[in-house]
Amino acid sequence: MIFINTMNTKKIILSILILLFSYTTNARDNYSLQTGTYSVLNKVQKDLDDGKNEEALKKLEKIISSGNIKDYDSAVIYQTIGFVQNNLGDFNAAAENYTKALAYEALPDDITHSLYYTITQLLIYTEKYQEGVEYILKWFAKEKEPKAEAYILAATAYYYLENYSELINFASKALPLIKTPPLNWYELLLAGYYEAEDLNNAAIILENIIIKYPKKKKYWIQLAGIYQRLEDDKKALAIYELAYAKDFLKKKQIIQLCKNYLYFEMPYKAAVILEREMATGRIDNNLEMLNMLVDAWILAQESEKAESVFTEIINSYNDEKSRLRLGQLLIENEEWEEAVDVLNVQLETEDITLLSKINLLLGIALFNSENIAEAKESFTQALSDKNTEEQAKWWLDFIKRKNEAAKNS
C-alpha cells in the first residue's frame, strides 16, 4: 500500500537542481557557488545527461571530501548526491544525503520546502514511517495549497504506524480534491475505518467505490456484509440483489441472498434462485439446500413444487423426517391416497416419536380414504409415544362413536 511514484520523485528532484542552478546564475550573495564547485557540478550535469550516474557520483564524493567549501556548496553537493543515488535506486542513501543537505540550513526556503516532501517520499518508500511523518508535517506547516497526493502520502505513513485516526484525518482530506480518486485511495481510507471499527463511514466509502468502480465485485460483497453487521438487513438485501443481477455472487453469497429473501418473507424469490442455482451446480444439491428449497416453496404456497422436492429428498437420502413433512403437506391438501402411499411404508428408524407421528398421520389419511380398520391400527400404534398419544386417543374415540352411531341408526 505504498503510494509513491519514483519517476515523479526524480522529476521533483531534477526541478530542484534546476532551481539551484538558477540561484547560482543569479549570483545572489547567499546562494552563489564557489567557482570550483560550479565547474564540478557542470561536469556532473553532463554525466547525468549521458546517463553516467556512477561517474557523476565519484566526482561529487571527491569534491565533498576535499573540504574547504562553504555551507551552501556542501548543501548543494549533498543534495545532488542524493539525486544521483535516487537514480541508482539506493533510496536509503538518497534520503540520508538529502537530510545532510538540509542540515546546513543553507538552501533557499522553497528548495528546503521541496526537499521535505522528497525526503518524506523516500522515507516512506524505505519503511521509515515515523521519520516520514515528521518530514511531511514540516512540509504541511509551510504548504499553502497541499495536493491530494500529499494527504495520501501522510495517510500511508500513519497506516503503517497503526495510527488510524490520523490516517482517516489525512485520507479524508484527499478524496474531495479529486473527481475520481484512485481505487487504492479509497482502500486506504476504508482500511482506516475498518481498523477504527467505524462501520457507518466504511459503508459510505464502499458506496462511493461501487458507484465509481461498479465492476469491482468484492466491494459489493463487503458493503452487503457491513450492512448486515449494522443490522440494516434491507440495505444488505438490496446490495445482494444488485450484485446477483450482475453475476457477482459466489455460492456463499447466493445462499445468504436466499436466506435474506426468506427473512423478509419473499420465499418465492428464494425458491426460484435456489432451484436455478442448484440446477446449474453453483449451489450443491445436498440435503441442507433441498430442505431450504422445500421450505421456500411451502412458504410460497407452491405445494406441488414442494411435494416434488420432498420426493427427491426421500428418494435420494431416505430422509424419514421429510417423509413425515410430505405426508403432513398432502393431508393439509386433502390428498388422502397420495398421503397413504408416502406414509404406509416399512420404516427403518428407531425414533419412536417419529414413528408415532407418521402412524398418526397415516391413520388420518387412511380414515379419510375410508380404510377404517387400517386407520384404527395406525392410531393404536401412535399411542406408544406421549407426543401423539392424546391425538391418537381422540381419533380412536371418534371412530368408536361413529361406529356406535352407525349401529344405532
Please list the helix, strand and coil fractions of the chain in percent, rounded to the nearest 5, in that order: 80, 0, 20
pLDDT at 155: 98
Place of cell 410460497: 300
13, exposed or middle or buried, with CB in 10 Å at 0-12, 13-18, 19+? Answer: buried
All residues at 6 or more sequence positions from 268 whose CB lies less than 8 Å from its CB, including other chains: 296, 300, 302
Give me the percent of the chain exceeding a pLDDT of 90.
79
pLDDT at 265: 96
SS3 351: coil
Of 29-43, 173-187, 333-347, 374-388, the range with the lowest mean pLDDT is 29-43
Q: Where are the domains of the chain?
A: 1-144
Count of residues in the chain: 409
pLDDT at 69: 87
pLDDT at 4 over 80: no
pLDDT at 34: 87
Q: What is the CATH number assigned to the segment(s) 1-144?
A: 1.25.40.10
Q: Average pLDDT, whole number, for the chain?
A: 90
Give me the percent of the chain exceeding a pLDDT of 70.
92
In order of 165, 178, 200, 207, the CA distances from 168 in angstroms are 5, 16, 14, 17
281-308 pLDDT, tens digit each: 999 999 999 999 999 999 999 999 999 9
Average pLDDT (224-235) is 94
**Which DSSP string do the residues of 3-56 spell out, in sequence order?**
---HHHHHHHHHHHHHHHHHHHHHT-GGG---HHHHHHHHHHHHHHHTT-HHHH
Round to whole Å and give the CA distance between 108 and 79. Answer: 13
Average pLDDT (160-185) is 96
pLDDT at 98 over 60: yes
pLDDT at 13: 44
Average pLDDT (78-105) is 94
pLDDT at 29: 54
Pick 346 or 167 by higher pLDDT: 167
Round to whole Å and give the CA distance between 270 and 217. Answer: 22
pLDDT at 28 over 80: no
Cell of 4: 509513491
260-275 pLDDT, tens digit each: 999 999 999 999 999 9
pLDDT at 1: 47
pLDDT at 134 over 80: yes
pLDDT confidence tier of residue 226, bands split at 50, 70 and 90: very high
303-321 pLDDT, tens digit each: 999 999 999 999 999 899 9
Pick 27 or 113 by higher pLDDT: 113
49, exposed or middle or buried, with CB in 10 Å at 0-12, 13-18, 19+? Answer: exposed
Q: Are 341 and 353 in contact (CB under 8 A)?
A: no
pLDDT at 404: 83
Long-range contacts of 43-51 (CB under 8 A, 24+ apart): 44/80, 44/84, 45/17, 45/21, 48/83, 48/84, 48/87
180-212 pLDDT, tens digit each: 999 999 999 999 999 999 999 999 999 999 999
pLDDT at 409: 67
pLDDT at 2: 44
Among residues 131, 46, 84, 88, the alpha carbon closest in space to that of 76 is found at 84
Among residues 267, 362, 347, the alpha carbon closest in space to that of 314 is found at 347
pLDDT at 239 over 60: yes
Round to whole Å and give the CA distance between 113 and 106. Answer: 12
Q: Give the residue ranges of DSSP H helices in 104-216.
A: 109-125, 129-142, 148-160, 164-174, 183-195, 199-212
pLDDT at 11: 44
Phi, psi of 325 (to 5 degrees): -65, -40
